[in-house]
Amino acid sequence: MTDSIPILTIDGPSGAGKGTISRAVANRLGWHYLDSGALYRGVTLFALEQGLIAKDGSIDEKGLEAALPDLVLDFRTGARKGTFLGERCVEQEIRTLEVSEHVSPISAIPFVRAFVDKRLHAFGRRKRVVMDGRDIGTVVFPNAEVKFFMTASPEVRAQRRYLELKGRGAEITIEEVAANIERRDLDDTTRVADPLTQAADAFVIDNTHLTSSEQFNLALGEVVRAIGVVTEA
């Protein structure tokens, strides 16, 4: 165990449904949910707003490294929940395609990963938490009590992300979303720093053809088997 507080990790590629299942399981258990990707998106939004990402996509890494110590980035629970830059909730801003286009290169930078990991560990030490991301079960909490790896076909993942973005009012095509998914998969699995990979002891759920209730029951059943959580609401 990482410490006396149980940790449940859910890793997988973009659009695999990590957030949906993480929130559902966290709600049933009465635990906190933390989307680690939101913190990387927060750093990306900060870099964009500070002019540290050029139009050609190049990153001013020296400038970003110098600015990070002053960045107040947090994930809050309670009445004002979500991802915050200082006192500003940025849940909507971090979900734009512009941020999605740049988050993989930003998250591949070792000092950015160290910055985010420090905050993830601090959150995990305080609360019973369900945490999703790319390397939560392999790097951040390798000794977590329960680990999942979520996956689905690229076509299904692109369709989910497209509907999510359209639901937020984004003017986007399915082709643009599919290209972004493909590019992020390549970036996430080939980066030098903590690439996306399946933990050897992770419970794999391919939800390409599963309903929400089917994948939820699979996940909750594995949690009960592993740590004996009472599942009655």
Mean pLDDT by 10 residues, the chain (233 residues): 70 92 92 90 96 95 96 83 91 91 92 93 82 92 93 95 88 92 91 89 96 94 83 47
Question: What are the distances in angstroms from CA 131 to CA 10, 46, 137, 149?
Answer: 6, 22, 9, 12
Half-sphere exposure of 49 (CA within 13 A, CB side): 12
- Of 109, 105, 103, which is closest to residue 39 (Cα–Cα)? 103
Taking the C-alpha atoms of residue 17 and residue 225, their distance in angstroms, rounded to an integer, is 22
Query: What's the CATH code of the domain at 185?
Result: 3.40.50.300
Assigned domain for 115 exists: yes
The residue type found at 34 is L
Assigned domain for 229 exists: no
Domain count of the fold of the chain: 1
Assigned domain for 212 exists: yes
The token pair at 219 is 């996940």
Taking the C-alpha atoms of residue 19 and residue 26, their distance in angstroms, rounded to an integer, is 10
Taking the C-alpha atoms of residue 132 and residue 11, their distance in angstroms, rounded to an integer, is 6
Beta bridge partners of 8: 130, 146
The residue type found at 128 is R
Q: Write down the residue that tokens 């740590």 correspond to.
A: 227
Write out the residue range of the structural domain in which residue 133 sits.
7-220
pLDDT score for 230 = 56
Half-sphere exposure of 65 (CA within 13 A, CB side): 7
pLDDT score for 169 = 85
pLDDT score for 26 = 92
Q: Return the HEC string of 177-221.
A: HHHHHHHHHHHHHHCCCCCCCCCCCCEEEECCCCCHHHHHHHHHH
Assigned domain for 18 exists: yes
Q: What is the pTM of this model?
A: 0.80
Taking the C-alpha atoms of residue 146 and residue 143, their distance in angstroms, rounded to an integer, is 9
Assigned domain for 198 exists: yes
Structural contact between residues 49 and 187, judged by C-beta atoms closer than 8 angstroms: no
Assigned domain for 128 exists: yes
Q: Write down the residue that tokens 């990153």 correspond to.
A: 59
Assigned domain for 102 exists: yes
Assigned domain for 225 exists: no
- Of 118, 114, 111, 137, which is closest to residue 2 (Cα–Cα)? 137
